[in-house]
Structure 1
Amino acid sequence: MIFKRFALLSIGIIASILTAEAQQKSYIQSLDEPNAWVDSVFNKMSRRQKIAQLFFVRAHTNKGAAYADSVGKLIRKERIGGIVFFQGGPGRQAELSNRYQKLSRVPLLVASDGEWGLGMRLDSTISYPYQMTLGAVQDNQLLYQMGRQVAADFKRVGMQMNFAPDADINNNPKNPIINYRSFGENKYNVAEKAGAYMKGMQDGGLLVTLKHFPGHGDTDVDSHYDLPQLKFSKARLDSLELFPFERLIQEGAAGIMVAHMNIPALDPTPNLPSTLSRPIVTGLLKQGMSFKGLVVTDAMEMKGVVKNYKDGEADVLAVIAGNDIIELSENSERAVRLVRKAVREERIPIEQIDSSVKKILYAKYWAGLNRQDTVSTTGVYADVNRPESKMLIKKLAESSITVLNSSSPIKALSPQKRTVILSIGTSGITTFQRELGTFYKNAVYFTLDKNAGAAAVAKISRELDRFEQVIIGIHDTRTRPGNGMVLSADLKTLIKNQAARQSIFALFANPYNLSGLPGIEKSKSLIVAYQKEDFMQQAAAAVLSNKVIATGKLPVTVSPSFPYGAGM
């Protein structure tokens, strides 16, 4: 082993991670310093081993022993630079990370997508609000605190790098892949929110990766399935899409992930993804924007990149373009072989490979991998479900709640009056109803499924007329809160009619869905709660019970009635 084992990570160290001063030097700052460990490891590598350091492969803990074994064999044989964990559980991942580190002669850099924390990939873990929800929060210090908590969680299960935050500006409501993963449409708000989250993670000792450079927010094609094209001018890209990346580079971002998009204004090569473009990766990002950190490709198995560049040529072109980390090649063994061949043929200077490898080794050193390869597998669940994390989620949720259509902050309705609380879009009694029921003691609950027909809607409509106060929750029960929430035509008519009668509404869905609910702008008050999770329903109920004053602002423009920045 090149590195020494360290004492098992415990809950005591978790506490110290959260309370200690921020790391004295950032990863970017560390690149300028001599490093004996980096030099020692680098000088022992063959050319093939150096090239292998550029490749990060997929790992899971929910696919059984045979799959886990196959990844282990690849690590031992290919001597790759890192792994990217996807679905599984925290305890299993901690155990498997330890196992994989023991198989690797050079410590692995372990990463995952954690835009909203470990819960984006792992079961039994904390999920913070989506970035669209956080875009409504006015106190950016809360996002910094979230970054510190996420850093502690990642390190607790043996990870050193988060492929987050998303710095895309979502100014296309039809965007099928970014959307709720963005902080919103305003470049200043996106930069500030992404910066606060980024700094929290980096101060907590976690490497970050801003994505998806040079900006994936104004597309209507999902690069997982095809190659999007940005047809905007260079001036437009400079003034909008590139703004958050440029600002956060200046603030010390450790890493940037490049998207699979064709951008003629930056590289006129037909059907060439930005990931494979040297003018974009090296010319614009590294030279033009002076980015010194890690440049990471988006997943190289995505159709947006391999559709037109097959049989490993995409991997070679990604290295030629100037990427330091090639994430999820379709075949890493083949890719290493082809890159070696490209170096021999002088398509890729060996000096470029050396530069990327040293940046990767510096990242491993900065993250502490020169001295640690074991994490405790005891008490993992409790350590990544800390009370302080849950309290922060509550605070973030309450701070995001946005009140529209009110001339003054929401005041609690009379708890003594006969009140009906209707949940639309779900067949069961909701957390929102139960929470409100503790305040409105004289309340009745009704529910209408998203496909409710004329007869069911008419029956409920007659019931609503009997009550003095009507509160209606609209719930999107899909896993991810995108556009296109499905509600029957009869339900939309009910919403329109009740809005005209001055009912109060709460939307537990992506705010873009308001554009598909004509007439809701006439409601007495409209609470936007952004997503379906219980913590958002509890926060909305707290506002309607006069326990919390809503301070959130819409992070996107939905319609002329609901513009960006609206909210009490």
Structure 2
Amino acid sequence: MKKLPWLLLILLICNHQLIAQSTETKTPEFLKYEHHKWVDSIMETLSPDERISQLIMVAAYSNRGEEHRQEILKLIREQKIGGLIFFQGGPVRQVRLMNEYQAASKVPLLGAIDAEWGLGMRLDTTISYPFQMTLGAIQDESLIYDMGAEVARQIKRTGLHLNFAPVLDVNNNPNNPVINFRSFGEDKYNVTSKSIAYMRGMQDNSLLTTAKHFPGHGDTDTDSHYALPQINHDRARLDSLELYPFREVVKAGIGGVMVAHLDIPALDSTGVPSTLSRPIITNLLKEELGFKGLTVTDAMNMKGVTDGNEPGVVDKDAILAGNDLLEFTEDVPKAIAEIRKAINQGLISQEEIDRRCRKILAVKYWVGLKDFEPTSLENIIEELNTPDANLLNRKLTEASLTVLKNKLNILPLRQLSNLRIASVSIGAEEVTPFQKTLSLYTGIEHFNLKNDASPEEITVVKAKLLDYNLVIAGIHDDSKFPRNTIKMTAEVQEFLRELIEQKVTLVSLFKNPYVMDKLQNIEDATGLILTYQDSRNAQELAAQVIFGGVGATGKLPVSVGEKFKAGEGLPVQGGIRLSYTLPEEVGMDSGILNKRIDSLMQQAINAKAIPGGEVLAARKGKVFFHKAYGEHVYHDTLKVKKEDLYDLASVTKISASMAALMKLHDAGKFELDQTLASHLPSFRRSNKADIPYHDILTHQAGFKPWIPFWKNTRRKNGSYRWFTIKKDSSAKYPIKITEEMYLHRNYPDKIVKEIRKSPVSGEKKYVYSDFFFILAPRVVESMTEPDFADYLQQNFYDPLGATTLGFNPEFPKDRIVPTENDYKFRREPIHGTVHDEGAIMLGGVSGHAGLFSNANDLAKLLQMYLNKGEYGGERYLSAGTIEKFTKRTFPDSDNHRALGFDKPNYNEEGISRNTAQDASLASYGHTGFTGIMVWMDPEEDLLYIFLSNRVAPTRDNSRLYRLNTRTNIHQVIYDAILD
């Protein structure tokens, strides 16, 4: 007990030290080099005027001509300027120019850029990351650090060293015309923490940063590019709000601070711009806040500082106020002369100029200019636009998405079969990426309304929307910058108001959040998603939030009138349906995928193994690769599109028959020890009456592989037998084969009879057979009310949102890929109807063939299998049933099959005959005669779909098998796995 006071004392001391440590100001790293021998050596070579020149940075452009280039070179050679700030242009041109400018300079030049949201702010063919207000909604600040690190890498790759970012202004004025979306928001703590994360990401990667616009440009409705804004708050308010982020970021060790052009009477009553104010720069920033880093002016060509001030003279005044670096000096010789005059007049000492020059040189040492080498141009575009950099961009957008309304938890949407959905994109004249992504999830009718749509156009859309019970409205921006403006006419705004009032409406606002205050009753929408800006990423990801492909975690960084307060945001679950992303998000190498899959597909097309095809791959429930290749048929002008439908051939077995049977198994109606006789009375006295389903589904029942049923309709002379096929349809001949071929209504029964009477081998060995799957619809219908096709639609395809998955597709033919030119049975090219003769004789609906689908819709069903029976928040099949039916049924035999599903099949040397060598033993799938392959691997949570029409124009084309294209591509996907 006697020791307790000592322990308490130790704890108090430690706690005090922690507090002191947390409030201690971190000195910028570069300052340790102010008296480095390299800095000393450079200083010795500089004349007094050249030391002044080191404080000057002029504007450079890589999109201007030879006159500009010569002008910059002259300033470098004659005036010995210290640095350049690059504005508009392109990365290749900029690097080429910067290399030339560095070669012309006596002292390495400090290269800067104003890249608040990355290089894309200034340079073409580079990445623009989200604006700071968008980032203000993000809750995971490690993403913002990562963005800082990536921005640093990219800027350095272009030969530059300093970024004039981040923006620390607290935007609490919705009418701010110059900061607004460039601010992290209105909450000083949010602004501060995100600024520090962004700054550390850059500075930890050797890029100097500047906090701007000191002492705070957020609460003004004047743009300092055109006039001098005035901020009339008292000192207490400025201390508690505007100055707070700057104070904290100085403590955190930021390298630079940029001073704004502002009139702030509470800080300097003289009315001079803050850039020229000694009380603001020297007294407040340097002495009171303790900032020792690089103090930079905002651009010295802006009207906020130039009005009433002469070029050169204004630069001198900025130096006298305490700035270390002049940005965008317009008259360099005059500025040097004026600063020299001030030294001679005793207004500032040469020693002070030298001290600031040393600071500039220390920065140059810290950023690596002591070992300057020309920047390489090789692969620069690729290296600036890496897959990881693009993925980060997507992650930032996803993390910012903010749901402000979610009545009755409508988001993410469920029970799709109960919904009739339309979308309206307002402010867009054609189908948008938002609408295209919505269509990946289910059938949606799309409409567009211009901002100035006529009353007649509005009336037409309103009438069409009456047929739908859910409307998704996208409100788009007409500018790449999300201004607080709205250009919708009063009539269009009234349309939106009525829509929200009268319909279940989900609104996705791709605009500045302040716009919501100008839209009447938008807060009454059933669902409201805010994306902050109208980028492609924002559109695609907002659509995915609606259907649960991704979730939403963002929080509103600003208040919107009385409608919404800063900090609002509702969490929405993601991951319940497929999402669509980049390969790197799921640990895949996009370089391997794109190069090698493209090559293999082109090889197959060139070899005329296939006229075209599609490849889709998903991992962890995320589609990371989906491409279409080639043409519908050889020498066609119709290119394959990702929306096209293919004849799935035998993949129908696992996508129709097995889906139905597994569901009936869950219901206790279909057992594996039952037989055909259990469900089909006509088989009770057949040679198949006692064969259990587990033998039938694994193809060891002794059935014949197939029967060419169509041949039995023909006489030896080629004419059709009586009571088989007629040219016209009738009650007796209702089954359509072609426009001029109709099959007798009883012929399907004849097919069943032939199967029933067919011989059975006495040997219990694996022989692949279609027979049971031809019978499967009748087996299913013996246990269900709806027929086979309707049962599948009601229980699987409709609720999955798989609108193209089904029999006898009713789509335009230019969306359906043709198959064979049938010269034997149908005597015409097969296009839009099933390729398999037996399936078409059964009306196009069979359990062994007949399904059509595009890759995306088929993926929904197969992903449900991978999810162990769950998808979209609904359970379709039990996990136990999925596991039972997809594992190898007889592992101790030569039969490699599961129940209805194929499994990896290895030869004596352990080489897989039918799938990628690296596919796990737990994997399963199927192939189709028309050139289809699907495969699922639960161990890697990997889904692979290959669609082609290798039978066009003839089934005799076996080149696809010989090239082994399908399994080679499958192996590429495994080769691309990084984690």
Q: Supply the AA of the counterpart residue of 1:508.
A: F
Q: Supply the AA of the counterpart residue of 1:383.
A: E
Give the equivalent residue in structure 2 for 1:312. Answer: 312
Give the equivalent residue in structure 2 for 1:430. Answer: 432
Give the equivalent residue in structure 1 for 2:543. Answer: 541
**1:510 maps onto 2:512 in alignment:** yes
3-state secondary structure, aligned to 2:213: strand
Moved more, 340-349 or 226-235: 340-349
Identity of paired residues, percent?
Answer: 47
3-state secondary structure, aligned to 2:319: helix
- Given that residues 33 and 362 in structure 2 are in contact (C-alpha distance below 8 angstroms), is that contact kept between their aligned partners in structure 1? no
3-state secondary structure, aligned to 1:429: coil
Give the equivalent residue in structure 1 for 2:128. Answer: 127
1: distance between equivalents of 2:311 and 2:102? 30
Task: Label 1:107 to 1:29 Cα distance change in 2 as closer, same or farther (>3 A).
Answer: closer
Q: Supply the AA of the counterpart residue of 1:433.
A: Q
Give the equivalent residue in structure 1 for 2:269. Answer: 268
Give CA deviations for 1:480-503 in whole Å, capped at 9, x if unaligned: 111112111111111111111230
2: distance between equivalents of 1:30 and 1:324? 13
3-state secondary structure, aligned to 1:267: coil
Report the Cα offset of residue 26 of structure 1.
7.6
Give the equivalent residue in structure 1 for 2:457. Answer: 456
2: distance between equivalents of 1:307 and 1:33? 36
Moved more, 482-491 or 118-127: 482-491
Task: Label 1:310 to 1:131 Cα distance change in 2 as closer, same or farther (>3 A).
Answer: same
Give the equivalent residue in structure 2 for 1:229. Answer: 230
2: distance between equivalents of 1:567 and 1:457? 32
2: distance between equivalents of 1:507 and 1:373? 47
Report the Cα offset of residue 106 of structure 1.
0.3
- Given that residues 167 and 195 in structure 2 are in contact (C-alpha distance below 8 angstroms), is that contact kept between their aligned partners in structure 1? yes
Report the Cα offset of residue 410 of structure 1.
1.9
Q: Supply the AA of the counterpart residue of 1:517.
A: L
3-state secondary structure, aligned to 2:569: coil
- Given that residues 33 and 39 in structure 2 are in contact (C-alpha distance below 8 angstroms), is that contact kept between their aligned partners in structure 1? no
2: distance between equivalents of 1:567 and 1:182? 19
Give CA deviations for 1:247-278 in whole Å, capped at 9, x if unaligned: 010000000000000111111003x0000000
3-state secondary structure, aligned to 2:144: helix
Give the equivalent residue in structure 2 for 1:94. Answer: 95
- Given that residues 423 and 474 in structure 1 are in contact (C-alpha distance below 8 angstroms), is that contact kept between their aligned partners in structure 2? yes
Q: Supply the AA of the counterpart residue of 1:560.
A: E
Give the equivalent residue in structure 2 for 1:373. Answer: 373
- Given that residues 499 and 521 in structure 1 are in contact (C-alpha distance below 8 angstroms), is that contact kept between their aligned partners in structure 2? no
- Given that residues 502 and 522 in structure 1 are in contact (C-alpha distance below 8 angstroms), is that contact kept between their aligned partners in structure 2? no
3-state secondary structure, aligned to 1:177: coil
List alignment gaps of at least 5 residues for structure 1: 1-24
Report the Cα offset of residue 431 of structure 1.
0.5
1: distance between equivalents of 2:320 and 2:165? 25
Give the equivalent residue in structure 2 for 1:331. Answer: 331
2: distance between equivalents of 1:220 and 1:60? 29
- Given that residues 429 and 447 in structure 1 are in contact (C-alpha distance below 8 angstroms), is that contact kept between their aligned partners in structure 2? yes
Aligned 1:167-182 pairs, distance under 5 A: 167-182=168-183
2: distance between equivalents of 1:314 and 1:238? 28
Give CA deviations for 1:12-64 in whole Å, capped at 9, x if unaligned: xxxxxxxxxxxxx9843643774100111112211100001111001011112
Give the equivalent residue in structure 2 for 1:105. Answer: 106
3-state secondary structure, aligned to 2:373: coil
1: distance between equivalents of 2:88 and 2:431? 30
Q: Supply the AA of the counterpart residue of 2:296.
A: V
1: distance between equivalents of 2:264 and 2:299? 18
Aligned 1:260-299 pairs, distance under 5 A: 260-270=261-271, 272-299=272-299
List alignment gaps of at least 5 residues for structure 2: 1-25, 571-979
RMSD: 1.3
2: distance between equivalents of 1:29 and 1:76? 27
Give the equivalent residue in structure 2 for 1:38. Answer: 39
Give CA deviations for 1:146-196 in whole Å, capped at 9, x if unaligned: 000000000101000000010100000000000000000000000001110
Aligned 1:107-506 pairs, distance under 5 A: 107-270=108-271, 272-407=272-407, 408=409, 410-416=411-417, 417-440=419-442, 442-500=443-501, 501-506=503-508
Q: Supply the AA of the counterpart residue of 1:381.
A: I
Q: Supply the AA of the counterpart residue of 2:559.
A: T
3-state secondary structure, aligned to 2:88: coil
Task: Label 1:207 to 1:349 Cα distance change in 2 as closer, same or farther (>3 A).
Answer: same
2: distance between equivalents of 1:311 and 1:254? 27
2: distance between equivalents of 1:394 and 1:563? 26
Q: Supply the AA of the counterpart residue of 1:267.
A: D
Give the equivalent residue in structure 1 for 2:555. Answer: 553
3-state secondary structure, aligned to 1:31: helix
Report the Cα offset of residue 350 of structure 1.
1.5
3-state secondary structure, aligned to 1:370: helix
- Given that residues 34 and 358 in structure 2 are in contact (C-alpha distance below 8 angstroms), is that contact kept between their aligned partners in structure 1? no
2: distance between equivalents of 1:164 and 1:474? 30
Report the Cα offset of residue 358 of structure 1.
0.7
2: distance between equivalents of 1:167 and 1:337? 34
Give CA deviations for 1:232-261 in whole Å, capped at 9, x if unaligned: 101110000000000010000000000000
Q: Supply the AA of the counterpart residue of 2:179.
A: I
3-state secondary structure, aligned to 1:428: coil
Report the Cα offset of residue 372 of structure 1.
1.2
Q: TM-score, normalised by structure 2?
A: 0.55
Report the Cα offset of residue 141 of structure 1.
0.2
Report 1 or 2 for greater relative contact order, CA contacts < 8 Å, sequence distance ≥ 6. 1
- Given that residues 62 and 94 in structure 2 are in contact (C-alpha distance below 8 angstroms), is that contact kept between their aligned partners in structure 1? yes
3-state secondary structure, aligned to 1:83: strand
Q: TM-score, normalised by structure 1?
A: 0.94
Report the Cα offset of residue 293 of structure 1.
0.3
Report the Cα offset of residue 466 of structure 1.
1.1
2: distance between equivalents of 1:560 and 1:228? 27
2: distance between equivalents of 1:175 and 1:85? 26
- Given that residues 101 and 373 in structure 1 are in contact (C-alpha distance below 8 angstroms), is that contact kept between their aligned partners in structure 2? no
